[in-house]
Structures are given as C-alpha cells and as structure tokens.
A and B are shown apart, each in its own frame.
Chain A
Amino acid sequence: MSKKKPEMTISGQIQVDYQWSVGKAGERFFAELRDHKRIMGARCRTCGRVMVPPRIFCEECFVDTIDWVEVEPKGTLVTFGDCYFSTDGKRLDEPWILGIVRLDGSDGGLIHFIKETKAEDLRIGMPMEIVFNDDRKGHILDISHFRPVKESK
C-alpha cells in the first residue's frame, strides 16, 4: 500500500478553547456529586422512567415534568471494553477498561473506568459499584471508577 505524501503541503493548526455549560440538569447532578457523593436521576412524571444522566426533559414523552431522585451508587454491568491504546494513540502493555453500568433505582447509567479487577474477571450482568474520589470538584472525575461489588459473607 503506497503511503506517498503530496510533495507540496501547507502546515498549520486550529486551536480553539471552549467552556461548555453543563446545563441545568448537569449543574444539579455535578453539585450533588461534589457535595454529597450522591448520584441523582430525573424521573419522568409521565412514563416513570428515571434518567441517568439526568436531563430536564424526557425524550420519549417529550415533557419537562420531572422529579429529582437519588439513585444507588451501584448497579449492573451492561457492557465493557478493554483497550490496548491510550486515547492519544499510544500502544499499551496493560489494557485499561471502560464500562457502562445500569444504576439501581434508575433506567439509565454511566460510563466510567473499571478498576480493581481484570477484564477476564468481568462479565456482563455482574454487580458493580462506584468508588468516589475524596477530592471532588463537580466533575465526572469526582467518580474515581467502578469496581465489582465484593461479595460479603
């Protein structure tokens, strides 16, 4: 496969800084996460579905009548992915893992790192829990990671 480059090119870069609003729902979610280690969901009064991440409207019913509810910091592993590349493209010896966890008391979930385990010990449907960071700033990284729920005897 030829990978010839054009002989004449112009080099440059586009660098733009942003400040993104987290939104009305996001402000409540991230403040509760920072101040109380609570995961908040939004229950649609029409269909009863509890949305996580919370939103100010339900896209299925298309209404903005919602109630804020606290959901459990634990749930069920929906799927997970290991990766042998860093997000900036470097090849890694040990994979890192992301997973989607459906949180108990909700119909939604979050995607986050999975740690304190190996990919081969994970299975879809297993119970997982959130580990919070001690130092919290109102950010998704106030959650440190998910880990498998340790079986209590």
Chain B
Amino acid sequence: MARKVALVGVGMQKFEFCKTETIEEMIFDVARNALEDARLSKEDIDAVVSGSAVDAFCGIVNSDKVATDGTGGFLKPTMRNSTSGSTAVSTPILGYNHIASGLYDIVMVVCYEKMSENPSAQAVFNTVYDEAYVRPIGLNVPIQCGLEARAYLHRYGLTERQMAKVSVKNRGNAISNPYAQLPMKLTVDDVMASPYLSWPVKLLDTSPVTDGARAVILASEDVARELTDSPVWIRGVGRGADSVWFMGRSNSNLGRLDYAYLAARQAYEMAGIKDPGVEIDYAEVYDPFTFKEMQHCEALGLCPEGGAGKMIDEGVSCKDGALPVNASGGLQGEGNPIGAGMSRLTWCYLQIQGKAGDCQVSKDVSTAVCNAWGGMYQYNAVMVIGRD
C-alpha cells in the first residue's frame, strides 16, 4: 500500500534567456529557496532526485554530476531522471515513488535546464531523431510540430485563431508572474501575423529557449503533518508512452494522444476523480506550443475530446474562467527550460496554498492537475495534487 506523500515546499527563480550562473549555481538557488519555503535544512533531506531532459543543451555530458552539490545531495542517495520533456513531471513522480514506497521520508526534487550555452537549441533538437529513417530527411522541431498540429486541427475541426487565443492568454498571464521570461500583451491578430514556422504553427505559438530551475520538497504524511497544518497531497500520478516509430504506429494519426489519455486515466483513478472537468479546480498544462495546451486539456479531461477550441473561445481556461489553465503564463509566457517545466507543478502548489501572488486565481483551488510531454510524440506524465 503506497504511503501518502505531500508537497511541503517549492523553490522558484526567474526564468531567463541566458543566465550568468552555472547549472550548479542555478540549482543551489532553487534548492535553498525550497528549503526556506519548507522551513527545513539540508540535513533533513533523506534523498535527492534531479531531472533534466537533454544534456546536449548545456554541453555537460551526464550533467547529473554537477547537480549533486547544489541540490544538497552531498553524501546522500541521489538519482537522475530523464524522459525528454516529460522529465518535468516524471521527476517529481520519481520523488513521490521514493516516499510512497516507504524508503525515505523527505526528498528534494530539482529539475533544471540551461539551454543558452549552445547557440542553437534547434541544432541540438536535430540530434534526437532516428538515424536511419528520419534524421537524413532533415526533420526539425518546427515541422515536427507542424505535422502534429495539422493532424490535430484536421481531426477535430479546430482553427489557427483558437491556437492564437492560447498564446494571448498565456503570455498575458505571465505579466503577473515575477519569474516569467516572456510576458507580452498581445492580440489574436498579433499572433496570426507572426511568421509561420510550419503551418499552422507560427512564431507566437511557440515557447522560448530558457535557462532555469525549479525545486520541490516532498515529505511523508507524518513529516508533512508536523511541518504544516495545510499539507498539499499528491493524490494521483500517471504516465504513458507510445512507440518511438511515430510514422509506423498503427494508430498513427498523431492528432490524438493515446499515451496522454492513459497517463491522465491512471492519475485520476488513483485520485478518485471521476469527472475532471468538474472536480479539477485549476490546471497547469504543458504548452510548449499553443496546440499542445489544447491537446493536453482534452487528454486531461478538462474539456471533451475535440472541445479545446470551444474551451478557449468561451474563456473557460482564462484566469477568471471556470477552469483556469496556466495562470502563471505556462511555458509560453514563463519560459520553457525543458526539464524545469516542473514549474507547472510548483504553480499548482502555489495556487492551492493561495500563495500565487498576482497569478492567484479568484476561485478557490483545492485540487489541481499538471502534466508534461516529451519524446517523439511519445510520453506524458500527469500529477494531481490537492488539499485534504
């Protein structure tokens, strides 16, 4: 029987295009912030879990080695996790496993990415594709997203303007986020007028290249109840993976994320959530591209399948809407340091605690969900957290 696990602290820092700090210095900053937030010291931490998606960005092979000291991992059990972009949520799930299993009571989870140390994030991304069948063709991130976005819009009859509204919402929300890299006050027409990368994806449908880190501290039930009167529990976790052979999948429409529906179903079953559209108060949804927020809202059951266009049209996911999504600004507004997309989880926690500052939504938030996506249209990781 899994033990209950709570979030007891988060460590934030500003997301920026190019930080002067090293990865070790960035990590030390968020780890110390998390310890302060949880009113704990390094000695209280039993084990450390770190996560980053792509070492080639920072050019430090096995970058987990430089995460050791900054996370407080000195002479402690440490472990690094990497599942491409979904590292952002699969890493705190790994931290959860450490405590739910009964192995440890207090675990530091740190996710980081320093993308600026390579002048071309695209050149790094180009190295992730299959060597025999894909890379010689020159597939790149813009077309990769164009292939998927076109299949998605086609399947469900959605539009570029609906995608643009997600960009306006998220970059606008980021204006209230002191840690955000790319707050912008935009109109739908601004987004529509930005240059195409690959139809229907335009420059303002994307997220920036970012340096940043995030930390969360997880604790067992006994410890959490000692530390706080209002623990925030991890109520459900889920993950799913599809075949790497995206062009050869028998379900190869690319418009429907079977693996994300699977991850969400696991997390909701564990949390006892039957109708997420009603029972989830707040969501931080992985939005490296506008259409990814839409696909993920559907897979997470925040709207019906194919209903993400209506959701944004009706303002449901806006900050003052019935089910706010990415009031922090999401990856598009706050920045997208791939693994440190764990920021999605930290903002769910801050919203539940009522500590989200100017990003705080007006409605009461007791249950929130976040997710992350990665691989060759391949992985999703989902976490549901909430108050008693």
Assembly CA distance A18 to B127 (angstroms) = 12
Q: Is the Cβ of A110 less than 8 Å from the Cβ of B133?
A: yes
Contact with B along A108-126 (1 / 0, CB 8 A): 1111110000010000100
Smallest CB–CB gap between B110 and chain A, Å?
A: 22
In Å, the complex CA distance between A89 and B138 comes to 11
Does A83 contact B142, Cβ atoms closer than 8 Å? yes
Of all chain A residues, the one with the shortest Cβ separation from B199 is: A82
Interface flag for A88 (CB, 8 Å): yes
Q: Are B196 and A84 in contact (CB under 8 A)?
A: yes
From A6, A99, A102, A111, give the contact of B134 (CB < 8 A).
A111
Q: Which residue of B lies closest to A55 (CB)?
A: B245
Q: What separation, in Å, do the CA atoms of A6 and B22 have in the docked complex? A: 10
The reply to whether the CB of A149 lies closer than 8 angstroms to some CB of chain B is no
Taking a contact as CB atoms under 8 Å apart, the answer to whether A102 and B252 are in contact is: yes
Contacts of B150 in A (CB 8 A): 79-81, 124
A34 to B134, CA, bound (A): 17
Q: Which residues of chain B (11-37) have a CB below 8 Å from chain A?
A: 16-20
The chain A residue sitting closest to B146, CB to CB, is: A81
- Measured CB to CB, the nearest residue on chain A to B181 is A1
Most buried by B among A30, A111, A140: A111
Bound Cα distance A2, B18 (Å)? 9
A54-89 vs B, Cβ < 8 Å mask (1 yes, 0 no): 010001100000000000000000111111111111
Q: Is the CB of B133 within 8 A of A83?
A: no
Q: Which residue of B lies closest to A30 (CB)?
A: B132
Complex Cα gap A20–B249 (Å): 23
Give A79 to B254 CA distance when docked, in angstroms.
8
Contact present for A83 and B197 (CB under 8 Å)? yes
CB nearest to B154 among chain A residues = A124
Question: Interface 1/0s, chain B 131-145, versus A by CB < 8 A?
Answer: 111101111101111
Q: A87 CA to B122 CA in the complex, in Å?
A: 8
Chain B residues, CB < 8 A from A45:
none
Q: How many residues of B contact A (CB 8 A)?
A: 48
A22 contacts B132, C-beta separation under 8 Å: yes
A130 cross-chain contacts in B, Cβ below 8 A: none
Q: Hey, which chain B residues are within 8 Å of A20, CB to CB?
A: 131-132
Instruction: Evaluate whether A52 and B123 lie within 8 angstroms (CB atoms) in the complex, with A22-B132, A111-B137 already known.
Output: no
Question: Known contacts A1-B17, A111-B139; is A78 also within 8 Å of B198 by CB?
Answer: no
Distance of A31 from chain B, by nearest CB (Å): 13
Contact A85 B197 (CB under 8 A): yes
A24 at the interface (CB under 8 A from B): no
The CA of A61 and the CA of B133, in the complex, are separated in Å by: 23
Check A109–B146 contact: CB distance below 8 A.
no
B148 touches A (CB below 8 Å) = yes
B140 in complex: contacting residue of A3, A85, A112, CB < 8 Å? A85
Contact indicator per residue, chain A 23-44, by CB within 8 Å of chain B (1) or not (0): 1001000100000000000000
Report the minimal beta-carbon distance from A143 to chain B, rounded to whole angstroms.
Answer: 9
Alpha-carbon gap, A2 to B182, bound state (A): 10
A1 and B18 within 8 A (CB): no
Q: Quick one: given A55-B245, A107-B250, are A6 and B18 in contact (CB under 8 Å)? A: yes
The CA-CA distance from A52 to B139 in the complex, in Å, is 18
Q: How far is the CA of A86 from the CA of B146 in the complex (A)?
A: 14
Say if the beta carbon of B151 comes within 8 Å of chain A.
yes
A14 closest partner in B (C-beta): B59
B145-172 vs A, CB cutoff 8 Å, 1 = contact: the mask equals: 1111011001000000000000000000
Check B248 against A108 for contact (C-beta < 8 Å): yes
A150 is an interface residue with CB less than 8 A from chain B = no
Residue-wise interface mask of B (105-137) relative to A, using a CB-CB cutoff of 8 A (1 in contact, 0 not): 000000000000000101100100001111011
17 A/B residue pairs, CB under 8 Å, sorted by A: A1-B181, A4-B18, A14-B59, A26-B132, A53-B132, A82-B143, A83-B142, A89-B123, A95-B198, A98-B138, A100-B247, A108-B249, A108-B252, A111-B133, A111-B137, A112-B137, A140-B136
- Sort A-B residue pairs by CB-CB distance and give the 10 closest, nearest first: A81-B146, A108-B248, A81-B143, A79-B151, A6-B20, A87-B138, A81-B147, A20-B131, A107-B250, A81-B198
Q: Chain A residues in contact with chain B, CB under 8 A?
A: 1-7, 12, 14, 18, 20, 22-23, 26, 30, 49, 51-53, 55, 59-60, 78-89, 95, 98-100, 102, 107-113, 119, 124, 139-141
